[in-house]
Amino acid sequence: MAKNRLTTEEFKNGILAGEKSVLGRAITLVESKSVDDRKLANALVNSILPYTGKSFRLGITGAPGVGKSTFIDGFGEFLLNIDKKVAVLAIDPSSKISGGSILGDKTRMEKLVGKPNVFIRPSPAGIELGGVAQSTLESILLCEAAGYDFVVVETVGVGQSETAVKEMTDMLLFLSIAGAGDDLQGIKRGIMEMIDLVVINKSDQIEKEILGEVKSNFAHALHLFPPRAAKPDVEILSCSALNATGFDEIGQFISSYHQKVSRNGFFEENRKAQKISWMNRSLIHLVENHIQNNDKLKVNVQKFESLVSDNKLSPLDAARQIFELLNLV
C-alpha cells in the first residue's frame, strides 16, 4: 500500500469535513481485499458509525437501457434544487461487461458531475457480488458520515444484486419503459414483491393511452400482492428523465413515503433488521472465504462434493460434517 496512507483519524476527520477526495480513498479502502486494508477499514467504519444513518437511501433498479443513469442525473439535479446532498453508488459487479458501465463513464451524468453537493462513485469492477455488496453497504455509511443526506444505489436488474440493494436501502424504485414487451414478463415475481415505486420512463415517447395501459398492467400485477400495512402502497408514476418531467410527483411520493415509515416506526425497525441481516450475510461470506482460502479444507470439501453428487451422502449431512471440520482445522 502507498506510503502516504492516511491514518484512521485522518480518514475520519477528512470524511467528517466532507472532503470528497478522502471519501473516495476511504471507499477504495473498504473495497480492498488486502488484510491490512481491511483492518484499517474496520477501524474507520466503526469510528464513523455515530455519524451515519441520517440519509434517505434510495435503491434504483431496471434493465439496461431503460434510462437509469439519465434518471439519476435528472432526478439528482431535482434533489440538489431542494437542498439535498446527493451520493450515487452502484452495486452491479458486471456493469463493465454488460455495457451498462453507467457510473464508470462519468460523462453520462453530465448534470451531476463536478457539482459541489454531489458524490458519484463508479461501480467496482471485477469482484464477486458478495464483496461488492458489502463494500457498497460500507460506502453508504461513509457517504452519510460525509454529510450526504440522499444516497442513490443503482443496480442493473439481475437477481441477487436487487436483493442486496433492497437490503441496504429504505425504498426500491423500479424504472421501466413501455412497449418493450418486457414490462411485466421481465420482472420476476421476487422482484415485484420488493418494489416500492414503479416509474415508467421515456414518457415523452409514449402516447397517453398506452401509458395508461402500461400503468394499469402494473397495478394489476401489484394488486396480486397483499396490502402493505407499514409501507404506503406501491405507486406507479411516469417521467421523462430526458426532459426532466414528472420529477415533482416522484419527489412527493418519496417524501410522503419517508414521512409515513418514519412516523410508524418502520424506518428504524427496517434499518435495524437490515444491519442484523448484513451481519449474518457477512458471517456466511467469511465462512465461505475461509474454506476457499484453506487448502486442507478445500480438498475435504471437494471430497464431500463427490460423495454428495454420487448419492453416497445426503447434502445436509455433508454440510454438517464440513461444519464439524471447521472447528478442527
Residue numbers at the binding site for ligand GDP (CB under 6 A) = 62, 64-70, 100, 102, 201-202, 204-205, 240-242
Shortest distance, position 13 Cβ to ligand GDP, whole Å: 35
Q: Please report, as a single letter, which amino acid is at residue 63.
A: A
Which run of H or E residues covers position 216? helix 208-223
Shortest distance, position 142 Cβ to ligand GDP, whole Å: 24
By beta-carbon proximity to ligand GDP, the closer residue of 99 and 126 is 99
> Which 3 state secondary structure label does DSSP give 151?
strand
By beta-carbon proximity to ligand GDP, the closer residue of 80 and 178 is 178
By beta-carbon proximity to ligand GDP, the closer residue of 145 and 177 is 177
Output the nine-digit C-alpha cell for 227.
Answer: 396490502
Shortest distance, position 203 Cβ to ligand GDP, whole Å: 7
Q: Say which residues have a Cβ less than 8 Å from residue 30's Cβ, sequence separation at least 6.
A: 41, 44, 45, 135, 138, 139, 142
Q: Which residue's Cβ has the minimum distance to ligand GDP?
A: 67
By beta-carbon proximity to ligand GDP, the closer residue of 103 and 137 is 103
By beta-carbon proximity to ligand GDP, the closer residue of 7 and 243 is 243
By beta-carbon proximity to ligand GDP, the closer residue of 204 and 269 is 204
> Which 3 state secondary structure label does DSSP give 297?
helix
Residue with cell 446527493: 86
**Which ranges of 224-309 does DSSP label H, i.e. alpha helix?**
247-263, 266-292, 295-309
Backbone CA torsion sign across 244, 148, 33, 325? negative
By beta-carbon proximity to ligand GDP, the closer residue of 14 and 100 is 100
Shortest distance, position 62 Cβ to ligand GDP, whole Å: 6
The CA-atom distances, in angstroms, between 136 and each of 69, 88, 320 are 18, 11, 32
Rg over alpha carbons for the chain, rounded to the nearest Å, is 22
Show the beta-strand stretches assigned E in 146-222: 150-156, 171-177, 197-201
Shortest distance, position 217 Cβ to ligand GDP, whole Å: 19
Shortest distance, position 245 Cβ to ligand GDP, whole Å: 8
Contact 322, 300 (CB under 8 A): yes
Shortest distance, position 61 Cβ to ligand GDP, whole Å: 10
By beta-carbon proximity to ligand GDP, the closer residue of 59 and 62 is 62
Contact 171, 197 (CB under 8 A): yes
Beta bridge partners of 90: 154
Shortest distance, position 122 Cβ to ligand GDP, whole Å: 13
Contact 51, 179 (CB under 8 A): no
Q: Give 81's DSSP letter.
A: H
